[in-house]
Amino acid sequence: MNSNSLVSISDISKEEILHLLENARYFEENPNHKILDGKVVATLFFEPSTRTRLSFETAVNRLGGRVIGFSDASTTSSSKGETLKDTIKMVSNYVDLIVMRHYLEGAARYATEVTDTPIINAGDGAHQHPSQTMLDLYSIYKTQGTLENLTITMVGDLKYGRTVHSLLMAMQYFNPTFNFVACDELKMPIEYKEFCDQKGIKYTEHKDFSEEVINSSDIIYMTRVQRERFTDIMEYEKVKNLYNLHNAMLDNSKDNLRILHPLPRVNEIDQDVDDNPKAYYFQQAQNGLYARQAIICRALNIDIKEVQKS
């Protein structure tokens, strides 16, 4: 396994997270740098994506590298039965870095075991989405001026939501207080609650997305109920409309509150929230470009201090 791979947010230390955030800030101020000259990056997306794939590809382009890959695995030889192992081994022959999204939990870890080329996990099933976490942390830091001592309310699909799982783990270093708002079917899985218990992280669980919860929050992290994760469509129909944020619900919220969402949204944030200055989800997606530029440089052992001198 290449030690520069990023499969889970727990692969990197607090110091590395803070370093990546510093570098994201640098790239926000200096997005165009031809430091990937001669490098080729593969984006292998076995699951649909808009933001993650396009922001990784934009990041490579802005850094002067080249991108190959696919956004639809049905056009590749995996549709003829080629295994993930063979696909990864083949693509590794061509590129310096692989960014991969896969519908199976553990697929990214498995990929690191069959190649020495660094792998960035762009989402594996309901498991982890560490590059999303870096842009989430960057967004939280930019809007709050700190990552420390914040009350973060996670709402919606906490069972299958890989973005909330990764963010929860990353926040272990910053003394958060979590509100988990979900119905029984989509509750935060026990292993993540045990993780909180082990790390001394405070959390409370709620079925009701109440005024009290909203008004205590520094960050509200909304999530989509993901139809693609349900095996029983009737179960999805039962829970898909349970949590919806409307502008009026923010009337007595804290001034510093910001609404985050990894996107795409369906109906969990009403469009009347979009013009509220507390809505931050589109800027959050923009921050993905800078965070991913920093992550790519880490994966390719590129020292930003040297870049800054050039």
* Active-site annotation holder among 43, 52, 143, 163: 52
| 52 flagged as catalytic | yes
| 146 flagged as catalytic | no
| Distance in Å, CB of 305 to ligand CP, minimum | 30
* Active-site annotation holder among 33, 51, 62, 224: 51
* Active-site annotation holder among 80, 231, 305, 309: 80
| 33 flagged as catalytic | no
| Distance in Å, CB of 133 to ligand CP, minimum | 11
| 246 flagged as catalytic | no
By beta-carbon proximity to ligand CP, the closer residue of 42 and 201 is 42
Q: What is the spatial distance between Cα 130 and Cα 120, in angstroms, rounded to a whole number?
A: 8
Check: CB of residue 156 under 8 Å from CB of residue 224: yes
Check: CB of residue 72 under 8 Å from CB of residue 98: no
Residue keyed to tokens 């039965």:
81
By beta-carbon proximity to ligand CP, the closer residue of 122 and 196 is 122
Give 188's DSSP letter: P
| Distance in Å, CB of 186 to ligand CP, minimum | 18
- What is the binding site for ligand CP (CB under 6 A)? 49-52, 123, 132, 262-264
By beta-carbon proximity to ligand CP, the closer residue of 220 and 263 is 263
| Distance in Å, CB of 210 to ligand CP, minimum | 27
By beta-carbon proximity to ligand CP, the closer residue of 2 and 71 is 71
Q: Which of 244, 243, 242 is nearest to 270 (CA)?
A: 244
Residue 11 one-letter amino acid: D
Report which secondary-structure segment, H or E, holds 41: strand 40-45
| Distance in Å, CB of 228 to ligand CP, minimum | 11
- Label residues 238-276 b or e (16+ Cβ within 10 Å = b): ebbebbbbebebbeebeeebbbbbbbebeebbeeebeee
Strand partners, 68: 42
* Active-site annotation holder among 39, 62, 101, 193: 101
Check: CB of residue 153 under 8 Å from CB of residue 278: no
| 39 flagged as catalytic | no
Q: Which of 272, 264, 273, 153 is nearest to 208 (CA)?
A: 153
* Active-site annotation holder among 129, 159, 224, 258: 129
Return the biggest CA–CA distance within the chain.
58
Catalytic positions, written as ranges = 51-52, 80, 101, 129
